[in-house]
Structure 1
Amino acid sequence: MRKYIVIAFVLLIGIGSSNAQVKASPGLRGGLNISTLTNIDDNSSKTDFYIGGLVNIKFNKFFSVQPEINYSRQGDEGRYFEDGRYYTEKYELNYITLGAVAKFNFGGGGFHLLAGPSLDLKVSDNYINTKPEDFDLSFVGGVGYTLPNGLTFEARLKQGLIDIYGYDGIDDGYYYDQVILNQVFQLGISYTFKTK
């Protein structure tokens, strides 16, 4: 019995000391969005921005989880033919995104890989004849580098998983290579405030 008490005590001390090493640091992030919609003929990418906040929860020098909330301006630039000439128009899909990425730091240094999910809630669009879905689920992956002062540079690819018009790819005569998905390449910076 005494042996089990000692083991439990050692485990509690270990858990307590590991929890003491967990650090949560708030921060700000923003950058450039280069977005498009898949499987649309004659469209091109649209350049816009994202901005938001984060909390970096660092478990050790190799691993952290980072919940984020952002305002992200997405969409694409469409091209259409009317009255004997071509016109272009920027289609906007603007979201509040709620996400969390896991960050894996190589060798405990500044270089890291990141990946995680995102729930995107549409706040506005400029579509006239159609009504895009009010939400999207996305997967985010990327690379980055964090300087000792908390400044981070990142490149991410964000892939939408839900057709913007709600098709699931298995309806009558509708195939997966026709599903219209958000796709965003992001270049950005963030700053994490140091906490004691």
Structure 2
Amino acid sequence: MKKITLIAFVLFIGIQSSQSQVRVSPGLRGGLNVSTLTNIDDNNSKTDFYVGGLVNIKFNKFFSLQPEITYSRQGDEGREYFGNGNNYRYVKYELNYITLGAVAKFNFNGGGFHLLAGPSLDLKVGDNYINSNPEDFDLAIVGGIGYTLPNGLTFEARIKQGLVDIYGYDYYDNDGYYTNDAILNQVFQIGVSYTFKTK
């Protein structure tokens, strides 16, 4: 009985000490989006912003997991034809999303520099398309690099690549339309975040 009590006590202390190493810190993030849509002729990138919140779950000095919720203004700048069809102007097409994501952050030697990668689910909350109706959601993968200062301020650069054709084309039923013609969201993000220190 004494042995069982001792083993249970040691396990309890081990669990408590491992949990005490995990630090959960809420925070805010925001920055610049430079977005475009792939496989569209003569379109230009569009500059806008993103803003949101995060929870940084730091397991140790080398690894943390960061769930995020973000409002992200994306899209591109493309041609809009009018009149007899020969005249056109460039219009900023908007695709605005609420993004639910989580990135894994890997710190170099436990320092401020880190790599990050993870998935996101983007739920469309608005667009300004007139002649088409983009899909209501997107799935994306995110990758990037950043640096965190001791005070919790972080500077990051990310690439976000959409995986869902925003027009929902069926590649097998449309003649002359192939998989590599998919129109996908593509976003370069540069921004800052701040995590609040917790006890």
Change over 3 Å in CA distance of 1:8–1:124 after alignment to 2? same
Measure how far apart 1:86 and its partner are.
3.9
Q: Answer whether contact 1:150 1:194 (CA < 8 A) is retained.
A: yes
**Counterpart in the other structure of 2:185:** 182
Q: TM-score, normalised by structure 2?
A: 0.92
**1:18 maps to amino acid:** S
Q: What is the SS of the residue equivalent to 1:189?
A: strand
Check the 8 A contact 1:45/1:77 in 2, yes or no.
Answer: yes
The question of 1:142 aligning with 2:144 is answered yes
- TM-superposed CA distance for 1:170, in Å, is 4.1
Which aligned pairs between 1:30-179 and structure 2 lie closer than 5 A? Answer: 30-82=30-82, 84-167=86-169, 169-173=171-175, 174-179=177-182
Q: Which moved more, 1:15-24 or 1:90-99?
A: 15-24
TM-score, scaled relative to structure 1? 0.93
Percent identity between the two aligned chains: 78
Provide the rounded CA distance (Å) in 1 between the counterparts of 2:60 and 2:161. 29
Q: C-alpha distance in 1, partners of 2:55/2:99?
A: 14
- The 2-side partners of 1:87 and 1:34 are apart by 20
Report which stretch shifted further, 7-16 or 149-158: 7-16
Deviation at 1:186? 0.1
Q: Unaligned 5+ residue runs, structure 2?
A: none
State the shift of 1:115 in Å. 0.5
Gaps of 5+ in 1: none
Does the 8 Å CA contact 1:162/1:168 hold for their aligned counterparts? no
Give how far 1:161 is off: 0.6
Provide the C-alpha distance between the structure 2 equivalents of 1:28 and 1:73, rounded to a whole number of angstroms.
17
**Equivalenced residues, count:** 196
State the SS of the aligned residue for 1:75.
strand
TM-superposed CA distance for 1:13, in Å, is: 2.2
Q: CA deviation at 1:37?
A: 0.3
What is the rounded CA distance, in whole Å, between the counterparts of 1:4 and 1:172 in structure 2? 69
Deviation (angstroms), 1:177: 1.1
Structure 1 residue 11: Cα displacement: 3.4
SS at match of 1:164: coil
Structure 1 position 81, deviation (Å): 5.0
Residue 172 of structure 1: how far off its partner (Å): 3.9
Structure-2 separation of matches of 1:70 and 1:107: 29
User: 1:32 & 1:97 partners in 2: Cα distance?
Assistant: 15
1:170 and 1:13, CA in 2 relative to 1: closer, same or farther beyond 3 A? Answer: farther
User: Shift of the alpha carbon at 1:3?
Assistant: 6.2
Contact 1:168 1:179 in 2 (8 A): no
CA–CA distance in structure 2, aligned partners of residues 79 and 168 of structure 1:
24
- The one-letter code sitting in structure 2 at the alignment partner of 1:32 is L
RMSD value over aligned CA atoms? 1.8
CA distance in 1, matches of 2:162, 2:87: 32
